[in-house]
Every structure is written in structure tokens, then in C-alpha cells.
Amino acid sequence: MVKATLWRDGPIKHRKLVHAPFTIELTHGCTVGCWFCGVDAEKFQGPVEVSDEVLKFWRQLLEAFKSIGGEHFSQHGFCYWATDPLDHPQYELFLEHFHQILGYWPQTTTAQVLKHAPRFRQLLKTLESKNGFVQRFSMTRSTDLKAIFDFFTPEELFLCEMIPQYDDKLSPKATAGRVRKLVLKKQAKEKPISFRYDLDATGSIACVSGFLINLVQHSIKLITPCAASDKWPLGYRILGEYQYQHAENIETVLRLMLDHCINNRLLPDDQLRLIYGVDCSSAQDGSLSVSSHGYAFVIKEVQCAERLSELLRSGEYTVDQICHEIEHDGGLRINTLIVLHQLFEQGVFDEDLLDSSRPPLPCVLEL
């Protein structure tokens, strides 16, 4: 699923996309209401209560991620999604616990740095004695940059990214979430669209291949980025969902979801369709290659390579049917299966099609 971003979005975005192991929302909804929100955040409905029970669960959750993925890997998690972190009045308290348990101060991305400028200055001061790195400001108005420069010193801004979200040319928007909804609405009413969009190669702002957890709603989702679509308009697939209770062993829940909510192998009846934009070809030396965005993956000495590439380009055949066709042309089933699994591991197949054609995975957990 991580490798799929290379074929879908190209090597530049693939190298930059962090595929964080988890993200945790501390509020339900967001107060900002950006027109371009790629995950279509709901209106703000409140923060999670800071209580002994919640903080105990919070620490157990962080310990669970540390146990499952290790400290270094878990440090790449963060605490916002379809939310603005500064909407929680005690956001920094949660980060203190994060730092205590995982040894790292996670990144903050906010569109409200000017609304909470003194508070963010204090956060930057706190970071001087913590293990942290770049913080990010989303600037929603063209006047934000000057206002930020007027308030903060160059030293304070040294490790801050300032993202010009107000300009579609400087910061192109994925046709996902609220942007997608707006495009479809304007098209239905035959109204002009003043910004760039693409309903075929829609893109996504999702950057998590792991868990999306909301502490207000008690929800856990296992997600991975995808191109936004009618089925997944927010630009990420939901592989499994669960509603937790504070009394449950959260590490057990997370491990069960990892074990039971991911389709990680090919099955005989899986229909194989290449991701949009990926081409498959063969050469006279018997090699088979898949390519997209100027990048290619080549498998050498493939039996019936020309016929196999033809079958894969059609997107109409299952694993078993492809093996049967290659056998008919004189190839061995086992060799064909090896090639198909190599391609599957590279993430070139449409996994949404694979998931939708299989029986539902047992994501209602028995704890």
C-alpha cells in the first residue's frame, strides 16, 4: 500500500509522503472551515475532555504504539487530521505525554497560528528543550505571511514551514474532500470552476498508512491513502473500523485490527487491474515491465511475457484465469504466480477492486 503511491502519484510525492503509523484527533470537527479541506472536516463539535480516565487511556495508547512499532517508528505519529490541533485548549498537555513516552515532540500543523500567536510562541519555546523538528503553518489568507513575520522573530521561525494555501498555483489542491464536493456541485449546476482540479487523477492529502483515532468519538480506523473517488471521497481507504471502550486493552485491539483488517496476499479469484495511469509492457528478451510517471519496475525472464502483459493491461482477468491462459500458451502456473505476487508487492494493482471483490474481513473484533 505504501509502494502504491509511487505509481499513483509519482516518485517526487512518493519520496515525501511519510505514511505515518497513526494520527489521533483530539477534537470532533474543526473551527477553521477551509474551502479546500481535502478530508472535508466536520463543523467543530468540541474537544475530548481532559480527565484522569482519558489521560490514562492516552498514555496506554501511546505505550501500545511503542510496543507494536518501536519507539523510533511511533515517533512519526501526530495529533490532528480533520481537525486543527489548536482547537483543543490543552493540546500541549497531550504532546507532553507523547514526548514522555515516545521521546519526541510531534509535528503540529495549524491554520490558526495568528489566532493563537502567543500560545504558539510558547510552544516554540518549549520545543527548544525537546526532541522535535519542523512545525507547520497553513496560511489561508495572502496577508498571513506578513503578519507572521511581524509577530515572530526569524529565530522562532527557523524550523517552521509556512504553506501558502491561499494560492492554488503555489499550493495546488487535491481534488478530494471538500474540493471534490465543490467541483461535482459546480459541474452539476454547469457553473464555472475557478481553480485547478482533476476528477481522473484526483490525488489525496492523506499521509497515514496506519491508524486514525478520534478520542471524542471513541473510533479507530485503519486507513491508507488512495485516489479520491465516489467510494472514498476523502482520499483514503478504510480497511477496518472499531468503536473502543476505555476499559479495553487497546494494544490487543490494535494488534487484532492489524492481523484481520488487511488483505496482504493475492487470492485465485482476485481480478487484477492496474492502478490508473500504470502501463504494462514486454520486451523481446522476455522481460516484463510496469511503468508510470517515468518510473519502471522490470522483471526479467518472464514466461510468455507478451501475453501476460496483454492480460494485465486488459484488467478483466482474475489470478486463476491469467494462470490458465499462460498455461495454455506453454508457461508454468507457478512461474506466473511468482510474477503476479512480485507485482502485487510493488503495489501496482487496484487494491480497492481487490478488496471489494472479496468477502468482508472479520473486523468486528472478538476481544
List, as one string, the DSSP characters of 103-132. Answer: SSB---EES-TTTTHHHHHHHHHHHTTSSB
Residue 73, C-alpha cell as written in the block: 517508528
| Cβ pair 113, 57 in contact under 8 A | no
Q: Which three cell numbers stand for residue 31?
A: 473551527
Nearest to 275 by CA among 185, 213, 219, 352: 352
Question: Are the beta carbons of 261 and 349 closer than 8 angstroms?
Answer: no
Q: Are 279 and 310 in contact (CB under 8 A)?
A: no
- Residue count (the chain): 367
pLDDT number for residue 361: 55
For the CA atoms of the chain, what is the radius of gyration?
23
Return d(Cα 77, Cα 254) in angstroms, integer: 15
Q: H or E element: which one contains 268?
A: none
The side-by-side arrangement of strands in the sheet containing 236-243 is 20-25, 208-214, 219-225, 236-243
Q: Which residues of 203-231 are buried (b: 16+ CB within 10 A; e: fewer)?
A: bbbbbbbbbbbbbbeeebbbbbbbbbbee
* Cα–Cα nearest to 254, from 211, 283, 224: 211
Q: Which of 9, 40, 17 is nearest to 233 (CA)?
A: 40
Q: Which residue matches cell numbers 479495553? A: 248
Burial of 165 (C-beta count, 10 Å sphere; 0-12/13-18/19+): buried
Q: What pLDDT does residue 365 have?
A: 54
At 362 the pLDDT is 54
pTM to 2 decimals?
A: 0.93
Instruction: Round to the nearest angstrom and report the end-to-end CA distance of the chain.
Output: 27
The set of cell numbers assigned to 154 is 526569524
Residue 271 has what pLDDT? Answer: 96
Residue 366: in which H helix or E strand, if any?
A: none
Which triple of cell numbers denotes residue 5?
A: 503511491
Mean pLDDT by 10 residues, the chain (367 residues): 92 91 98 96 97 97 97 97 98 98 97 97 95 94 96 96 88 94 96 92 94 98 95 95 93 94 92 96 97 96 97 97 97 97 97 81 53
DSSP annotation of 173: P
| Number of helical H runs and strand E runs in the chain | 13, 12
| CA distances, 197 to each of 6, 26, 277 (Å) | 20, 31, 17
Contact between 68 and 99 under an 8 Å Cβ cutoff? The reply is: no
